[in-house]
A and B are shown apart, each in its own frame.
Chain A
Amino acid sequence: MHELQVTESILSIVLKHAEANRVNKVVAIHLKIGELSDLENEWIQHYFDYLSKDTKAEGAKLKIERTPVVLRCNKCSNSFEVNIKQMKEIQCPECGDKKCTLISGREYYIKHMEVI
Chain B
Amino acid sequence: MMEEVRLIQVKEEIFSDNKEIADDLRDNLVKEKTFLINLMSSPGSGKTSLILKTIEKIRDEFRMGVIEADIDSMVDSEKVAAQGIEAIQLRTGGFCHLDASMVKKGLDAMDLGGLDLIIIENVGNLVCPAEFDTGATKNVMILSVPEGDDKPLKYPLMFTVCNVLLVNKIDYLDISDFDIHALRERVLTLNPKIEIFEVSCKTGQGIEDWTNWLREEVKAFGVVSK
B190 with A110: CB separation less than 8 A: no
How long is the Cα–Cα vector from A1 to B4 in the complex, in angstroms?
A: 37
A111 with B157: CB separation less than 8 A: no
How long is the Cα–Cα vector from A21 to B6 in the complex, in angstroms?
A: 11
B14 with A109: CB separation less than 8 A: yes
The answer, among B14, B160, B188, for a CB contact under 8 Å with A6, is: B14
A13 with B190: CB separation less than 8 A: no
Interface residues on B, range: 35 or more
Chain A residue with the shortest CB-CB distance to B132: A2
**Contact bitstring A94-116, B, C-beta under 8 A = 1, else 0:** 00001111100010111111111
| Nearest CB in chain A: distance from B155 CB, A | 8
Within 8 A of B (CB), among A24-44: 24, 27, 29, 31, 36-38
Decide yes or no whether B216 CB sits under 8 A from chain A: no
A17 with B10: CB separation less than 8 A: yes
How long is the Cα–Cα vector from A84 to B97 in the complex, in angstroms?
A: 23
B188 with A98: CB separation less than 8 A: yes
B188 with A99: CB separation less than 8 A: yes
How long is the Cα–Cα vector from A29 to B7 in the complex, in angstroms?
A: 10
B8 with A112: CB separation less than 8 A: yes
How long is the Cα–Cα vector from A88 to B14 in the complex, in angstroms?
A: 31
Decide yes or no whether B116 CB sits under 8 A from chain A: no
A74 with B10: CB separation less than 8 A: no
A108 with B13: CB separation less than 8 A: yes
User: Please, which residues of chain B bring their CB within 8 A of the CB of A38?
Assistant: 127, 157
How long is the Cα–Cα vector from A30 to B6 in the complex, in angstroms?
A: 13
